[in-house]
Amino acid sequence: MLSVSLRTAQLWTESGLLEAWKTEGGHRRIARQSIERLLADPKVRALPKVAEIPPQTQKILVVEDDSALRRLYEVNIRRWPIPLEFSSADDGYEALIRIGHDKPDLLIADLQMPGMDGFRMLNTLCSMSELSGMQIVVVSGLDADEISARGGVPEGIPVFPKPIPFGALLDIAKKIVADKQLKNRESL
**Owning domain of residue 32:** 6-51
Claim to verify: residue 136 and residue 168 sit in the same structural domain: yes
d(CA 65, CA 154): 21
Claim to verify: residue 23 and residue 84 sit in the same structural domain: no
Claim to verify: residue 98 and residue 179 sit in the same structural domain: yes
Claim to verify: residue 103 and residue 162 sit in the same structural domain: yes
pLDDT of 51 reads 44
DSSP states of 51-118? GGSPPPPEEEEEE-S-HHHHHHHHHHHTTSSS-EEEEEESSHHHHHHHHHHH--SEEEE-S--SSS-H
pLDDT of 126 reads 84
Question: Mind listing the pLDDT tens digit for each residue in 16-57?
Answer: 777 888 888 877 788 888 888 877 766 554 444 444 445 578
Q: Which helix (H) or strand (E) holds 30?
A: strand 28-30
CATH of the domain at 115: 3.40.50.2300
Claim to verify: residue 46 and residue 73 sit in the same structural domain: no
Closest CA relative to residue 158, chosen from 174, 139, 132, 131: 139
- 1 lies in a domain? no
- 99 lies in a domain? yes
Tell me which of 51, 68, 88 is where a domain ends: 51
Percentage of the chain with pLDDT > 90?
51
Claim to verify: residue 126 and residue 155 sit in the same structural domain: yes
d(CA 63, CA 140): 11
User: Band of the pLDDT at 86, cuts 50, 70, 90?
Assistant: very high
Claim to verify: residue 70 and residue 161 sit in the same structural domain: yes
pLDDT of 47 reads 46
Claim to verify: residue 118 and residue 62 sit in the same structural domain: yes
Q: Minimum mean pLDDT among 1-5, 31-35, 71-75, 114-118: which range?
A: 1-5
Q: Minimum mean pLDDT among 57-61, 148-152, 179-183: which range?
A: 179-183
Residue 58 has pLDDT above 80, yes or no: yes
d(CA 106, CA 137): 8
Claim to verify: residue 176 and residue 122 sit in the same structural domain: yes
Claim to verify: residue 23 and residue 98 sit in the same structural domain: no
Question: Mind listing the pLDDT tens digit for each residue in 147-168?
Answer: 999 999 999 999 999 999 999 9
Structural domains counted in the chain:
2
Claim to verify: residue 46 and residue 138 sit in the same structural domain: no
| Coil, strand or helix at 138 | strand
